Amino acid sequence: MKKLLGIVVLGLLWCNVGTAESFFGSLLCQPGNANSLGSWYISIDEKNKKALEGSLPYKLTNKIDEFYLLHENKRIKLEIIIDRITGYYQREMVLKSGVEKGKRTFETGMCDKKDRKF
């Protein structure tokens, strides 16, 4: 009887593998510095590795405790890193063409999970 109980307990422990759910939702991000353009929404679909800020698509790379988002075209490169635990974000934009080629802008702030009304 003890052997059977031991087998059942070990079987339950072995089969109990926890998995985290993929994140799918919207974040409202508010910058911490006064010279920024204001708050913005970003929709994240972790399962399909995509994100969308307005009509601007991002490639999503997951790390254990942060989202790494990248949008790149001929004119700009945008990188956003969002901490999944605290909501703190860092956003950097680099101009790749034009008169101000190479100019970098940097912004930090906080993101909160929000349900969009429409």
Q: Is the pLDDT of residue 18 over 60?
A: no
pLDDT of residue 63: 78
pLDDT of residue 23: 74
pLDDT of residue 50: 92
pLDDT per residue over 29-82, tens digit each?
Answer: 999 876 667 888 999 988 889 999 988 999 998 778 899 999 999 999 999 999
| Mean pLDDT score of the chain | 83
* Helix and strand totals (H; E) in the chain: 1, 8
pLDDT of residue 7: 74
Buried b (16+ CB within 10 A) or exposed e, 44-61: bebeeeebbbeeeebebe
Q: Is the pLDDT of residue 9 over 80?
A: no
Q: Is 98 left (phi over 0), alpha (psi -120 to 50) or beta?
A: left
Report, as an integer, the average pLDDT of 88-117.
88
CA distances from 32 to 5, 21, 40, 77 (A): 56, 29, 12, 21
What residue spans define the domains of the chain? 22-114
Is 0.75 surpassed by the pTM of this model? no
